[in-house]
């Protein structure tokens, strides 16, 4: 079943009274995770479904509880949660590690930016991660290598899938991997090189070679001066058949490249290759000194079916503003905060003032079913099917009323089911009139067309 999600107006027209409203996840600061043994900040990286069930947080912190973390001495550690909200250190007790939940150092081939590849048939590569080794080994020179692709059966033991560089040089960002169902290729959103703060994309058909990264998301002319784009974790969202990006935006003070606040906003794409920015934040800015004031890095999105989990790395200090080491009695400088969003509720068309209307493009039904995700607290929504004019039996007056906060409600009319429209392959438009309500998604199995004489398309 497809879902028309109103990130833009490509598949529907709407009246002037309406407004598009992007929804933030409901954040749960009461469930914030911090590393109780760490004397400085932690660097949260990724939350993925764990092999034993539940969810695994991969993060970086000091390898020694008595030594503050810095960029050149970063340990990779694990924390686990059964419910996705309450995380505890996951003790693996590997030999020679200084901490029980430590799996290695950032200078090693250790997967940090991991993804679960549900289509992988080789269990050794069930998890994949593009990783650029970085840091100081003992007193030797700093290691900084191009990213290479790693695989793991359990998020603990990692090895290279290939020696081919994913990026042409070292990158100090969040490289995000997915398997693109539109192109059939793997792709990574990354920077092209260290310090080049815009989002690029590289692709591979065989995991043995990668294309040269090309820019896909840039700062815009109407951004604040000295806006940089730091990273963009990317996800394919199957219900909407589109791609969601969690875009990190840094606003740099004049001529000070290592400083400035970081926020996260929605981006989206219909094919994973060409991306659109929304400017819609995922996290409301906090007061100075609170978690999320200096940095709000949305690191992960996990679709659980009935809802979606998000994870925010909330920083008190701005980028490059290294806080003092944590002392007894002082709050953490960084925490991982979970959030939830109901299914298909990234964005809605709000009725605004008074009454509102919207009408879809022409739809050709493949199955006799249309459903809606909408918040209709006062029952102020009616719908009809049209072919220029309302279709008899499927008019507003024939509509069987709906009311309440509905995520997956069938649209029904007194004229009967929708089988006749499937049988004759005819084109119809869904017209909705609503008041004091929000429309989040229209669901069904259908082809789209802006004009019945134009070629039809099943995907965007």
For the domain that residue 417 is a member of, what is the CATH number?
Answer: 2.60.120.260
Which of 296, 320, 342 corresponds to the end of one domain? Answer: 342
Q: How much is the pLDDT for 248?
A: 97
Distance CA(448)–CA(429), nearest Å, equals 10
Considering the domain boundaries, does residue 36 fall inside one?
yes
When divided into structural domains, the chain yields a total of 2
Closest of 19, 3, 4, 31 to residue 340, by C-alpha: 31
326 and 371: one domain? no
Same structural domain for residues 195 and 71? yes
Structure tokens at 315: 């920083």
pLDDT at 347: 98
For residue 29, the SS3 value is helix
Residue 266 shares a structural domain with residue 370: no
Q: Bridge-partner residues for 105, per DSSP?
A: 75
Positive or negative CA dihedral for 360, 234, 28, 79? positive
Residue 179 sits in which domain range? 26-342
Q: Which of 341, 343, 313, 309 is nearest to 49 (CA)?
A: 309
| Domain shared by 283 and 388, yes or no | no
The answer to whether residues 39 and 178 belong to one domain is yes
Considering only the C-alpha atoms of the chain, give the largest distance between any 2 of them, rounded to a whole number of Å: 81
Distance CA 297, CA 212 (A): 26
Query: Looking at the structure, do residues 275 and 385 belong to the same domain, yes or no?
Result: no
Give the integer Cα–Cα distance in Å for 256 and 253.
Answer: 6
User: How does pLDDT run along the chain (460 residues), one tens digit per residue?
Assistant: 899 999 999 999 999 989 999 999 999 999 999 987 775 567 878 999 999 999 999 999 888 766 666 777 889 999 999 999 999 999 998 998 989 999 999 999 999 999 999 999 999 999 999 999 988 777 677 888 999 999 999 999 999 999 999 999 999 899 999 999 999 999 999 999 988 999 999 999 999 999 999 999 999 999 999 999 999 999 999 999 999 999 999 999 998 888 899 999 999 999 999 999 999 999 998 898 888 999 999 999 999 999 999 999 999 888 876 555 555 555 778 899 999 999 999 999 999 888 999 999 999 999 999 999 999 999 899 999 999 999 999 999 999 999 999 999 999 999 999 999 999 999 999 999 999 999 999 999 999 999 999 888 888 8
- Give residue 64's pLDDT: 78
Strands 43-49 and 347-350: unpaired
Residues 75 and 54 in one domain: yes
- pLDDT, residue 298, reads 97
Select from 322, 342, 362 the last residue of a domain. 342
320 and 199 within one domain: yes
Q: Is 460 domain-assigned?
A: no
Is 419 contained in some domain? Answer: yes
Domain of 81, CATH number, reads 2.115.10.20
Domain boundary (316, 342, 368) is at: 342
Count of CB atoms situated within 10 Å of the CB of 74: 23
Distance of CA 65 to the CA centre of its chain: 32
According to the model, what pLDDT value does residue 361 have? 95
């Amino acid at each position: 079943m497809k879902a028309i999600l109103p990130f833009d107006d490509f598949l529907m027209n709407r009246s002037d009274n309406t407004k598009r409203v992007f929804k933030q996840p409901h954040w749960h600061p009461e469930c914030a995770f911090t590393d109780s043994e760490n004397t400085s900040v932690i660097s949260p990286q990724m939350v993925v479904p764990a092999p034993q069930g539940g969810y695994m947080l991969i993060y970086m912190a000091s390898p020694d509880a008595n030594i503050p973390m810095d960029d050149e001495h970063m340990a990779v550690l694990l924390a686990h949660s059964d419910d996705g909200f309450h995380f505890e250190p996951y003790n693996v007790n590997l030999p020679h590690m200084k901490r029980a939940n430590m799996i290695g150092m950032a200078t090693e081939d250790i997967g940090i930016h991991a993804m679960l590849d549900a289509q992988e048939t080789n269990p050794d590569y069930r998890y994949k991660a593009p990783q650029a080794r970085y840091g100081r080994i003992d007193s030797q020179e700093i290691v900084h290598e191009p990213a290479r692709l790693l695989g793991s059966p359990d998020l603990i033991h990692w090895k290279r899938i290939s020696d081919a560089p994913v990026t042409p040089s070292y990158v100090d960002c969040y490289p995000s991997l997915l398997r693109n169902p539109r192109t059939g290729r793997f792709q990574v959103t990354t920077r092209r090189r260290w310090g080049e703060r815009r989002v690029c994309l590289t692709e591979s058909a065989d995991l043995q070679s990668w294309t040269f990264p090309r820019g896909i998301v840039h700062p815009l002319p109407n951004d604040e001066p000295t806006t940089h784009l730091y990273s963009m974790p990317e996800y394919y969202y199957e219900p909407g058949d589109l791609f969601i990006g969690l875009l990190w935006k840094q606003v740099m003070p004049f001529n000070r490249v290592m400083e400035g606040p970081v926020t996260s906003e929605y981006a989206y794409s219909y094919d994973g290759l060409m991306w659109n920015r929304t400017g819609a934040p995922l996290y409301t800015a906090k007061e100075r000194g609170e978690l999320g004031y200096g940095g709000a890095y949305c690191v992960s999105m996990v679709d659980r079916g009935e809802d979606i989990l998000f994870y925010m790395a909330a920083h008190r200090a701005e980028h490059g503003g290294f806080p003092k080491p944590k002392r007894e009695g002082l709050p953490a400088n960084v925490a991982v905060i979970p959030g939830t969003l109901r299914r298909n509720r990234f964005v809605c068309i709000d009725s605004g003032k008074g009454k509102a209307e919207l009408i879809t493009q022409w739809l050709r039904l493949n199955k006799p079913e249309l459903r809606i995700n909408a918040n209709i607290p006062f029952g102020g929504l009616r719908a009809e099917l049209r072919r220029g004019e309302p279709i008899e039996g499927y008019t507003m007056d024939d509509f069987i009323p709906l009311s309440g906060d509905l995520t997956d409600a069938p649209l029904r009319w007194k004229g009967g089911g929708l089988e006749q429209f499937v049988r004759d392959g005819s084109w119809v438009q869904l017209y909705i009139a609503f008041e004091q309500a929000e429309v989040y998604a229209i669901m069904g199995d259908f082809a789209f067309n802006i004009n019945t004489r134009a070629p039809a398309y099943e995907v965007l």
